[in-house]
Amino acid sequence: MKTILAFVLFATSLFSDSSSLYQREEIKAPKPCNYCGASSLKNGFVTVAKFAKPAVVFLRVKGQSVDQHAGQNPYDFFQDDFFNRFFGAQPQQQRPKPQPQMSQGSGFFVSTDGYIMTNAHVVRDAVEITAVLEDGSELPAKLVGNDTHTDLAVVKVEGTNFPALKFCDSEDIDVGEWAIAIGSPFQLEATVTVGVVSAKGRNNLRINDLEDFIQTDAAINPGNSGGPLLNTHGEVMGVNAAIVSKSGGYMGIGFAIPANMAKHVMQQIIENGVVDRGFMGVSLQPLDKDLAEAFGLDQTQGAVIAQVVPDSPAAKAGLQAGDIITAYNGKQVQSASSIRNEISMMNPGTTVDLTINRNGRIMQLPVTLGSRTEIAGDTSETAHKIGIEVENLTPEMRRKLNLANDAEGVVITKVKQGSVAAQAGMRPGFLIIAINHKKVESTKDFNQILAESQNKSRVLILIRQGQMTRFYSLKVD
């Protein structure tokens, strides 16, 4: 009886102060029940569901048409008459018509004027997005921008007075508190599941480039991606992103991108269309027990600098390989991933005061962050449409591709199967040296020129592959 009474009192206290937190006048928070904690718990979940469900949308996405046979003809490497003249024309087999890829996911309104947050993988390759609201109405949506490093995206529908959700401060989330997930698993719209926050700060899962996941046991299944993970006040704790499963379905472990990270990405996408991150220019590794012993340290809190990028902000500030970052801006470094995430949330131009342990000597070094976009480059919307990803040309890439030291351009690192670039015969390893007759020397040039070309129906790309140079005309839409 004592255990039951304790749970009743605990459940009653959860919702006793929630009446001021629901701001929609048509939905009122439940009144606490002095005699039945279980009833209060039930009413609390019901109220969160009623409050949040109108703001959650089902996203139906039509992707690029995929031709599984595109680019597979070995006589069609550069798509000209050379091989036909010497080897004879090859018989053309009739192929099935390419079919558009269809996918679906969830999202939720973050503003009353139609901005919707979701996962980047839900909408990244979309050519047509439809948002299905709770009342069944369907609205065409436009991709505003996406961030593949965190797997977050923003789309927009036209209209006003949409029911929007607010983010909480994810730093205040406690392990063990209630978590409520809403989404459209298996196309079952507005599905509500309940669990708890199982853990915080999950990283090194190799799901995203930047990871700081909230782990929950609230049931998350395929289709929940992009939906909100809510607290008992109806605030967004995180954006549902992934599950751990051997079967493809729910197994008790789901992950959500924390609210603070999601809010930062959302604001940059809405304001600028892309996310520009602070860049320090170091490769970090965790300070484990063995490394700590080798460095003569008695604790493992901190991050070891394994490499410093030449001419980077870190190099200019005097950081060296072997330095151990123990604190930044007076805050102790808990792990390599934690400081990596914190730096990525800062704007270029921000000065970070680092506390460094260099061979037992404690030093203070200020580092003014550069722009990650200038180094790695967030792929532009036009690049997504044509289906390519690029990186800056490094000395290692020059050696691998057998290029001269003075070679300039950006290297194609990924070509999406079935994309217009793939159908044209473009491949990873090709060097882009010009777009629309404008010279390309960096990913910044690449994105800027493509952004200027976003209203054009075709993009003219000059490619170098080995000793051969060739123009490609790619249809954008």
Q: Point out the catalytic residue in the list 67, 151, 212, 378.
A: 151
Structure tokens at 460: 């003219």
Both structure tokens of 100: 């558009």
* Residues 185, 225: Cα–Cα separation, whole Å: 8
Task: Show the DSSP H helices in 163-296 as ranges.
Answer: 259-272, 289-294
Joined together, the tokens standing for residue 8 give 């009743």
Q: Which residue, among 471, 429, 446, has the nearest Cα to 382 in the 3D structure?
A: 446
Burial class (CB within 10 angstroms; exposed 0-12, middle 13-18, buried 19+) of 186: exposed
Give the CA distances from residue 352 to residues 113, 137, 277, 334, in Å, rounded to whole numbers and listed in that order.
Answer: 36, 48, 14, 16
> Could you identify the residue written with the tokens 């140079």?
469
- Pair 179, 196: CB distance under 8 Å: yes
Q: How far apart, in Å, are the Cα atoms of 235 and each of 18, 178, 191, 239?
A: 12, 12, 17, 11
Out of 106, 121, 184, 453, which one is annotated catalytic? 121
Integer angstrom CA distances of residue 95 from 74, 100, 424: 16, 15, 16
CA 163 to CA 51: how far, in whole Å?
9
The one catalytic residue among 106, 225, 312, 337: 225
Query: What are the distances in angstroms from CA 169 to CA 237, 264, 424?
Result: 7, 12, 47
For the question of residue 225 being annotated catalytic, the response is yes
CB 241 within 8 A of CB 213: yes
On whether the CB atoms of residues 424 and 459 are closer than 8 A, the answer is no
CA distance 45 to 373: 42
Residue 352: DSSP 8-state: E
Element (H, E) at 414: strand 410-415
Q: Are 315 and 308 in contact (CB under 8 A)?
A: yes
Distance CA 230, CA 232 (A): 7
Q: Which helix (H) or strand (E) holds 118?
A: strand 115-118
Contact, 446 vs 435, CB < 8 A?
Answer: yes
User: Tokens for 81?
Assistant: 């008459």
DSSP 430-454: -EEEEETTEE--SHHHHHHHHHHTT
Distance CA 445, CA 374 (A): 9
> Which amino acid is present at 76?
D
DSSP 8-state class, residue 189: T
Catalytic positions, please?
121, 151, 225
